[in-house]
Structure 1
Amino acid sequence: MFPARSSSIAWPLFGYFFFFSSLTGSMAPYISMYYKSLDLSGSEIGRIMALLTLSTIVVPHFWGWLTTRLGLPKLTLQIATGCTLLAVLPFYFAQGYETFWVLTLLLALSYSALVPLADSFAIRSIKGLGIPYTRIRAGGSLGYIFAVTLTGFIIAKVGVNAIVPMMILAIIIAFATTFLLKEKPIPLEMDKQVGSFWSLFKIKEVRFFLLLSFLSYMAHAPFNVFMALHLSNAGYSGDEIGLLISFGVVMEIVLFLFFGNLLKRYSVVYVVALCFGLGIARWLLVGWYVDSLWVVLLTQLTHCVTFALFHMVSIDQVNRLFPEKYAAQGQAMYSSLAVGLGGGLGMVIAGYIWELMGGPTAFTFAAIISAIALVTLIAHQRR
């Protein structure tokens, strides 16, 4: 999978992505079920979960600044992972909305930085080695599948109380894995950034890319918060939910491993249009026909397009739109406005819709956002 000359760098990176994504796989799809078992309402669950993404508006800028100041990306990643571990531990003893809100806020201050820190660390580490980023990223997808499937089976056996211990175990191993990573110090005199956040934001193409990314993450918000609960309400067992969610990520891995050069062959406009067009169908079908196993399987099959393919486009666009001296600012801008603001706002709105009008309407909201994104893309091309 990796050439012998680069295996000492690639495999530890692959392992780190595997285990920190295992934390996400044991938490993101199932924690709403755990909160529901503690009698939290849909809007309360939405507000708690939104903290993890809304914090991305600010948090990546701090960790990017810290990386620049220290000049040691591995050390920064270790600190963020260790803080995440410390923040997860109290979840085992917590009760009540207010307590979980505070704990999630503390968790968000480090957890929401792990993806941008790991992405930038990986891209910098494999530079010149001939290893596609998507092959490293596949480790995260495999870890997510492993955790989603295993946690689903354990929930089916012992109940939702197994969710938090699974989260703790995953982040402990992820933290241990950071000690195997190869540090590549940043020459501080070369890392000084020129310009500012707003100077980048003034570029028209950058603004349009960020707008589409914002809409994409907003459209995925109901899925990220309520998919497991939506399936549970439809009568699916814990192990069935785990397998169904894992199926979507398996398709994601196939895309990452075998279609990494897809963007070189097709216009990015058509690829993004496909992502949003399939998104409309996916959210409507899963919202209103979740009782049909075949419909759920079909919608999970499209996960490799609506999420994974769009993620590939995003990484490619960040690398293309931002020169190397602006790389840290570009990654922070993307994380802030797309992942943070788009995903977080979508979670809050989805939580209220879920509570007031139910699951099908919450996923219809996602379809509407996808439609708005597609219309925006088409209108932009006709100018």
Structure 2
Amino acid sequence: MLTPLFLSFIFFLLLFPLTSSLPQSSRICIKSGPLKSNPPELPTSDHNRAYDRDDNDIDDNINIKIIQTCRGGHATDIINSGKLKGGDIEHNSILVQSRLTFLFFYISIGSLFPYLPVYYHSLNLPGSWIGYLGSVNPITTFLISPLWGAYSDRHGNHKKILLLTFSSSVVTRLMMLLSVNPVYLAANVFVTAALNAPVKPLLDNSVMAMLRDKGSYGKMRLYGQLGFGLGSSIVGILIAKSSLGYRLPFLIHGLVSIPTFFILKNFKVPSLPSSPSSVEGRNPEGPKFKEGLTLLTKNVDALVFFFLVFAVGVSSGCIENFAYVRMREVGGTGKDMGISRFVSASAGVPMFWFSGRLTRNLGVQKVLIGTLASYAVRFTIYSRMKVPLGGLPAEFLRGATFALFWSTATIYTHKISPKGMSATLLTFMNAMYGGLGQSIGAIIGGKVQERVGTVRLFRYGATFDAAFVIVSATYFAVRSLTKSKDTPKVMKIEESDED
């Protein structure tokens, strides 16, 4: 019953009124029909040139063409002409492509990733080994991902790297089924993680580069949340009915990855300039990474931001590797896990949609502190869970807070990136969260779980996060009081920064 409703909801969102994706000038024509006498005064092409100076995805004369078309009478002329190269029609096509890409990519990983710790548990591996295997992927991502990002920024071949790493990582991931030896599993996870490290940040960076309004990233990323929930919920239901058990997610992951590859292949990944001078020609030396990193190290807000992202990653590494192990301990099945993921994905959709506005109103620091506080609550819920579906409130909280956290972190990282280093900084952000943070969380969680059990592990996690929230909130409060009136607000994303 839940799956058909979920599919219908996704179909509706994919066909969401296209006028919401057009700039205000085009929407006026569509809503008003023939214009009376004077068309609305629109921003000049110079404004657009400044507006998209980093993306290079909007024709400088688009607003003039829109005015001329509106003066001609009907909005249908805009659609029928199909000649607004680099303008509204093309941008709207980019939005649809972004939605489909996020949807199918996250269906593919949602069909497998949530069930990997449970698969290890089904092989009767001890908690320490589950933690070790759970840490290999993030620690490899931490070490390799920035290198991939720097290489991509230097040479500008983002799409080739995206396709190569995605397809090869799927193949090596499926090879995990060839043996149940823990050493083989660890080696396989390492190779797969090294290949997969740049996929997510390159995809995020490509979408961000093509969006006019950077704050609308969450409205694109919500399709990833939907895809992850769809993939994990369907697989959870099928596991309960299949004799393949927890080998089934691997099969479905491989099948879904085939159409995902072709969607990625058709996705218009921009040839991002490797440096500010690339307008005149590609700079063979690429971006000045040392200078850019030096500027970042002097930015206290940026350093604190990445540290808090790391702290969130530690909590995530612990809870994501053992939440469903805990569910299995109280009698949970694949169906229960699928329902849990459905609830999580459903909660994340509206948060991704409104994430841009919430980030502007709250500020990055409050989002990060709120995320850590939510982990404390989730740890507490899981530790007191007596029945499999008793963790649904924690799953709801997971979806809502992750959506806001990830959208905020991506927008802020893109905002503070030096010229030509956006992919590098996004891979670094991914590395701090999904690399160093999650690996440490998985290792610590595995050792503690093996010694004291899952319940006490989650109690310790709740205590740690609660204490960290108090310390972080105190730090930001003191820092805000000591800053002068002329100093910008700490980690505040203003509306103009997102354009």
What is the TM-score of this pair, normalised by structure 1?
Answer: 0.92
Q: What SS is found at the alignment partner of 1:302? A: helix
**Match status 1:328 vs 2:414:** no
- Whole-angstrom distance in 2 between the partners of 1:167 and 1:351: 26
Structure 1 residues 108-139: Cα deviation after superposition (integer angstroms, max 9, x where no partner): 0122322111110111122x278811122112
Indicate if the aligned counterparts of 2:153 and 2:287 stay in contact, CA closer than 8 A. no
Residue type of the partner of 1:264?
R
Aligned to 2:356: 260
Tell me which of the two structures has the higher relative contact order, counting C-alpha pairs closer than 8 angstroms and 6 or more residues apart.
1
Could you say if the C-alpha distance between residues 108 and 267 of structure 1 is closer, same or farther in structure 2, counting changes exceeding 3 Å?
closer
- Whole-angstrom distance in 2 between the partners of 1:290 and 1:309: 29
Indicate if the aligned counterparts of 1:53 and 1:340 stay in contact, CA closer than 8 A. yes
**Match status 1:309 vs 2:398:** no
Aligned to 1:297: 392
- Whole-angstrom distance in 2 between the partners of 1:104 and 1:168: 16
Q: What SS is found at the alignment partner of 1:185? A: coil
Aligned to 2:159: 74
- Whole-angstrom distance in 2 between the partners of 1:151 and 1:120: 29
1:169 to 255, 275, 278: 255
2:437 to 342, 361, 368: 342
Shift of 1:182: 1.2
Q: What SS is found at the alignment partner of 2:422? A: helix
Residue type of the partner of 1:212?
L
- Whole-angstrom distance in 2 between the partners of 1:60 and 1:352: 26
Residue type of the partner of 2:205?
S
Indicate if the aligned counterparts of 1:211 and 1:338 stay in contact, CA closer than 8 A. no
Residue type of the partner of 1:50?
S
Could you say if the C-alpha distance between residues 241 and 145 of structure 1 is closer, same or farther in structure 2, counting changes exceeding 3 Å?
same
| Runs of 4+ off more than 4 Å | none
Which has the greater radius of gyration? 2
Residue type of the partner of 1:342?
G
Structure 1 residues 91-123: Cα deviation after superposition (integer angstroms, max 9, x where no partner): 232221011111111110122322111110111
**Match status 1:208 vs 2:336:** no
Aligned to 2:105: 20
Residue type of the partner of 1:35?
Y
Aligned length: 381
Structure 1 residues 197-244: Cα deviation after superposition (integer angstroms, max 9, x where no partner): 354234221111111111111111222212222111111221121111
- Whole-angstrom distance in 2 between the partners of 1:164 and 1:122: 28
1:63 to 115, 130, 148: 148
Indicate if the aligned counterparts of 2:198 and 2:427 stay in contact, CA closer than 8 A. no
Aligned to 2:493: none
Aligned to 1:219: 315
Identity %: 22
Q: 1:1-383 counterparts in 2 under 5 A? A: 1=16, 2=18, 3=21, 5=89, 6-126=91-211, 128=212, 132-158=216-242, 159-188=245-274, 189-190=277-278, 192-194=286-288, 195-197=291-293, 199-291=295-387, 293=389, 295-381=390-476, 382-383=478-479
Worse-matched range after superposition: 152-161 or 62-71: 62-71
Shift of 1:64: 1.4
Could you say if the C-alpha distance between residues 146 and 75 of structure 1 is closer, same or farther in structure 2, counting changes exceeding 3 Å?
same
- Whole-angstrom distance in 1 between the partners of 2:164 and 2:436: 24
Worse-matched range after superposition: 99-108 or 274-283: 274-283
Shift of 1:47: 0.8
- Whole-angstrom distance in 1 between the partners of 2:340 and 2:114: 11
Residue type of the partner of 1:136?
M
Q: What SS is found at the alignment partner of 2:111? A: helix
Worse-matched range after superposition: 128-137 or 22-31: 128-137
- Whole-angstrom distance in 1 between the partners of 2:166 and 2:388: 39
Q: What SS is found at the alignment partner of 2:179? A: coil
Structure 1 residues 55-80: Cα deviation after superposition (integer angstroms, max 9, x where no partner): 12122222213323432222221111
Q: What SS is found at the alignment partner of 2:366? A: helix
Indicate if the aligned counterparts of 1:50 and 1:343 stay in contact, CA closer than 8 A. yes
How large is the Cα RMSD of the aligned pairs? 2.2
Unaligned runs of 5+ in 1: none
- Whole-angstrom distance in 1 between the partners of 2:391 and 2:431: 31
Could you say if the C-alpha distance between residues 310 and 93 of structure 1 is closer, same or farther in structure 2, counting changes exceeding 3 Å?
same
* Greater share of helix: 1
Could you say if the C-alpha distance between residues 201 and 222 of structure 1 is closer, same or farther in structure 2, counting changes exceeding 3 Å?
same
Shift of 1:259: 4.5
Shift of 1:290: 4.5
Could you say if the C-alpha distance between residues 37 and 338 of structure 1 is closer, same or farther in structure 2, counting changes exceeding 3 Å?
closer
Indicate if the aligned counterparts of 2:313 and 2:438 stay in contact, CA closer than 8 A. yes
Indicate if the aligned counterparts of 2:355 and 2:408 stay in contact, CA closer than 8 A. no
